Structure 1
Amino acid sequence: MASNAYDVLVLGSGFGGSLLSAILAKSGMSVAMVDRARHPRFAIGESSTPLADSALAQIAKDYDLPELMPLTKYGSWKRSHPELTCGLKRGFSYFGHRRGQPFDASDQLVVAASASDEVSDTQWLRSDVDQFLFQLANQVGADSYEGVDYHLETEQAGWRLTGVGETSPLSLHAEFVVDATGPAGVVLETLGIADQTHELKTRSQAVFGHFAGVRTVADMLVERGVDCDRHPFSCDAAAVHHVLDDGWMWQLRFDDGTVSCGHMLPALGDGEMLNPRQVWDERLATYPFLHRQFSGATLVRPSGGLQATGRLQRLTSVAAGRNWAALPSTAGFIDPLHSTGIAHTLFGVRRIAAAMLGENRLRQQRLQVYSQAVIDELKFIDQLVEGCYAGLPHFRLWSAWCMLYFAAVTSQEHASDPAEVSSFLGVDDVEFGRMLIMARQKLQATLDGDPGPEELASFESWLRDALQPWNRVGLLSPEAAGMYASTAAPI
């Protein structure tokens, strides 16, 4: 039986758990990563942002991990690691569709996040990236145990993990444990931490997979006589959103020709399960643009076929304690909309690392601050996401509500040092929070009035004025006509 004592156990070896393990090991701590699965493995949550890039770059600098730096920009990634599949992400693009109707060229929104291909964000093929970071953690001194069926329990000196690996029994002990297990929430469950998902307003679930042979949106638009020269960048080099009557579809292109695709739709009741193939086929058949786009597409990942989830939203009541911490992706999740997952996880990695590697007398205080911050940030993301869904099926209301996210994120991106801002997306900005509540009330009043063009324009005008203190990039400018180049993060 392998029996070892460590400073830290990290449960889960996705990109967040692996990065934190690398930081702690490189800083002199003894670290064991434990995972029930093995690399490489399929995962979603693939779209980076300028905040994610800046946070990853700061990790590389602060903790002497130069191996990370090439992954912070598309150009350096392609030169340094052509073996790791990624995709070019210049920003966000949105296209509105109505059930059974042809595409209307006026229903477009394209928002730049990066100024050029060289400094662009990326789509991560997670099976490649997670394995790379897992191997990096091993290289800098973290021990790893994959394919382990384990049990975790508390003990007087900290934590004890027992289990069975592929070859032998396992017994590990540590003073501190990090929960990077995502929805499994192993530490949260072991401690019986109360759940507060009921406080979240967003209710959505997903059907998803990776496809080959998906036609580009640009080709589809040109086929319909739509002028793509108006776009500030190639609209497919983006987190593509097809906005539907009751949900939306993401499309993230990788350089190997495959596309991560997922339908987001209203969550069913507890215990109700989707038939993923049935849902997928029905939604494609309902929207002519998507039906044509996928007419020659084939599913290539994962090997088990299309995946379906139950309701995605979850939220814990506590995200850290005296001798434990949960990454943001374990503490809760809202929705893929706005691509907040990678950046939020990286912010969490930095904050947990700072707490653990700083002065011992300040660790508990820092963990308490981290715990409340993560919960507040997840609730804030919930507000930003829920308003978009509430605006459906009005593409103009969806697009207008998106401006609240872009105001928050561009304010942080244009700060003197975005990676050093204390809260994610400026959650600690009290005035922005008040404005967000007022905006949701105004949105509801607009929806209650069965809005026509005048009511939609009135809401946009109100929101433009309300966003003024945080609008550094011309959001909701009539001159932009939904095509934003000035929103790119500073180089």
Structure 2
Amino acid sequence: MTQTCDVAVIGGGPAGSTTAYALAEKGWNVVLFEKEKHPRFHIGESLLPMNQPVFERIGVLDEVKRIGVYKPGAEFYDVNPDNPPHRFYFRDALDKNFPDAYQVRRDQLDEVLLRNAGRRGAQIFEQTKVTGVTFADEGQGAALTVTPEGGEPQCWQARYVVDASGRDTLLAGQFGIKRKNMRHASAAIFGHFRHVPRNPGPEAGLISVCWFEHGWIWFIPLPDGLMSVGAVCSPAYLKTRRGSTEAFLADTIALTPPHVRQRMAHAELVGEVRAAGNYSYQCSQMCFPGAILVGDAWAFVDPVFSSGVLLGMRGALRGAAYVDAELRGAPEAAALRDEFERVQKRSVKDFTWMIARFNSPGIRHLFTNPGNPWRVQEAVTSLLAGDVERDNGVRPRLMFFRGLYYFFSCLKPVSAVREWLRRRARVRAVVN
């Protein structure tokens, strides 16, 4: 027997849950399929200040604050252990109205968002996997093959499909439109630990980023005394792993500056160490007749600026506005689709430029020796806060920052060329 709905949402992460909430709020019959059972582990724990208006919009800001660790900003350590860290406080961004953020365990955050969508009226089916989608001609709906865990396949008919399947990239794989991001080839290895010291006082929630020989390492303070610790490095370095992931992460930490090793001296692993291969990608298309891709189902970039949850949720709200207009046959649907695509592509592009050069001497110098000519440091802080969509003076100042980057790179041509060659070698390693 075929069951019907207005909108089928594939995936119960932040993007999927937000889309389901927004469309159910409009009165549509929304069904969300999530292949796992919440709560479940997920990486991406550090949120940005610009997440908070989105959380407030969907009515979960107080819950997020309750489960989160207060985050006033981020600190960056240079490769040279003699150089002190430089701290970027969100209160120093161009817009002073968003001075803080929170860090959360993603299993808790994602469950809050999923249950919130259910309370708004979306039907939630967990441990239910979508295994195929067949579209009718001219965007006249789609048939989904859905299999509950331990059950028989079912057929659902939907007027519209929202792919929020994350890195599974269900529709992108079906249509063959997923492309690795050749400008940024990276891999990550990470885990949760206890007994890792935090900064004292109000800085206890600062995220710490430290460069080292093979890339950079993060420290993200989480609730219940946990610390998320991970290293982002080249895929070629990750391929040198021998033995367990736990031992490889320990060996990687042994290559970091003394203050990092000292911070991990008494660390106790909680759970398992996980690794992710070359994960940066983008799909060549975001909208189809009868379907859209939101969040990581469309693109994923490096976690260094913690942009994933924010881009996914904001894109979900824009995507939901477009789908609502499409279902109503509203004349503004085309304009909303164009805005959805334009803003998402531009936001990812803003982050990608800096991420691709994050290990370069020029970026390290600018992040650990910042100045504020023409309020450029405030603009970089705004980028770290996720404030890249509004026309508030951030973008031209980020262009000026790019000019400073090229200037400092010219001052150290040998180091700059060496890093450029290293990036090229990473891309060749991924291609081959």
Name the TM-score, length of structure 1 as normaliser: 0.73
Give the equivalent residue in structure 1 for 2:412: 447
Counting matched residue pairs gives: 400
1:27 CA displacement: 1.6
Match of 1:137?
A: 117
Mapped partners of 2:390, 2:304: distance in 1: 14
Equivalence map 1:100-139=2 (5 Å)? 103-104=81-82, 106-114=83-91, 120-139=100-119
CA distance in 1, matches of 2:119, 2:38: 15
Q: Report the alpha carbon displacement of residue 164 of structure 1 after superposing the two structures with TM.
A: 2.0
Contact 1:376 1:427 in 2 (8 A): no
TM-superposed deviation, 1:40: 0.8
Deviation string, structure 1 residues 181-227 (Cα, Å, up to 9, x no partner): 111111222223252623xx222211011111112255xxxxxxxxx
Asked if the contact 1:89–1:120 (Cα under 8 Å) also holds between the matched residues in 2, the reply is yes
Q: Which runs of 5+ in 1 are unaligned?
A: 61-65, 79-84, 219-232, 452-491
Q: Deviations over 1:55-77 (max 9, x none)?
A: 332x23xxxxx3x23146xxxx3
Aligned to 2:420: none
Q: Is the 8 A contact 1:161 1:171 kept in 2?
A: yes
> Paired residue for 2:61?
69
CA contact (8 A) 1:331 1:374 kept: no
CA contact (8 A) 1:388 1:397 kept: no
Which of residues 209, 216, 220 in structure 2 aligns to 1:241?
Answer: 209
Q: Are 1:407 and 2:379 matched, yes or no? A: yes
Residues 1:331 and 2:315 are matched in the alignment: no
Q: Which runs of 5+ in 2 are unaligned?
A: 417-432
What amino acid does structure 1 have at the position aligned with 2:246? R
Alignment of 1:281-296 (within 5 A): 281-287=250-256, 288-296=258-266
- 2:346 is aligned with what amino acid? D
Structure 2 residue matching 1:195: 3-state secondary structure: strand
CA-CA distance at 1:432 after TM superposition: 5.0
Residue correspondence of structure 1 range 212-227 to structure 2 within 5 A: 212-218=194-200
Asked if the contact 2:379/2:397 (under 8 Å) is kept, the reply is: no
- Relative distance call for 1:349 and 1:278 in structure 2 (3 A) is same
Tell me, yes or no, if structure 1 residue 88 matches structure 2 residue 56. Answer: no
CA RMSD of aligned residues (A): 3.3
Deviation sequence 1:228-254 (CA, Å, 0-9, x none): xxxxx7333112112223321111112
Alignment of 1:245-394 (within 5 A): 245-268=213-236, 276-287=245-256, 288-301=258-271, 305-358=272-325, 360-391=330-361
Q: Tell me the distance in 2 between the aligned counterparts of 1:254 and 1:429.
A: 30
Work out whether residues 316 and 375 of structure 1, in 8 Å CA contact, stay in contact via their aligned partners in 2.
Answer: no
Determine the structure 2 residue equivalent to 1:19: 18
Task: Output the amino acid matched with 1:192.
Answer: G
**Contact preservation (8 Å) 1:319, 1:374:** no
Cα 1:119–1:410 change in 2 (3 A) is closer
Partner of 1:153: 133
The letter of the residue matching 2:114 is: F
Name the CA distance, whole Å, in 2 between partners of 1:142 and 1:289: 48
Mark the CA change 1:151 to 1:255 in structure 2 (over 3 Å): closer, same or farther: closer
Aligned twin of 2:429: none
Kindly indicate whether residue 136 of structure 2 is the aligned counterpart of residue 163 of structure 1.
no
Amino acid at match of 2:162: V
- Tell me which amino acid in the other structure corresponds to 1:69: L
Superimposed CA distance per residue, residues 281-324 of structure 1 (whole angstroms, 9 cap, x where no aligned partner): 112222332222222212213xxx11111112111111122321
The SS at the match of 1:110 is: strand
1-structure distance, mates of 2:241, 2:354 = 27
Matched-pair contact (CA < 8 Å) for 1:327–1:349: yes
Q: Distance in 2 between matches of 1:159 and 1:168?
A: 20
Deviation at 1:270, TM superposition (A): 11
Given that residues 40 and 107 in structure 2 are in contact (C-alpha distance below 8 angstroms), is that contact kept between their aligned partners in structure 1?
yes
Q: Which residue of 2 aligns with 1:4?
A: 3
- Could you tell me how far apart the structure 2 residues matched to 1:13 and 1:293 are? 35
The one-letter code of the counterpart of 1:234 is P
* Cα distance change, pair 408–108 in 1 and its aligned pair in 2 (3 A): closer
Aligned sequence identity (%)? 20
CA distance in 2, matches of 1:402, 1:282: 35
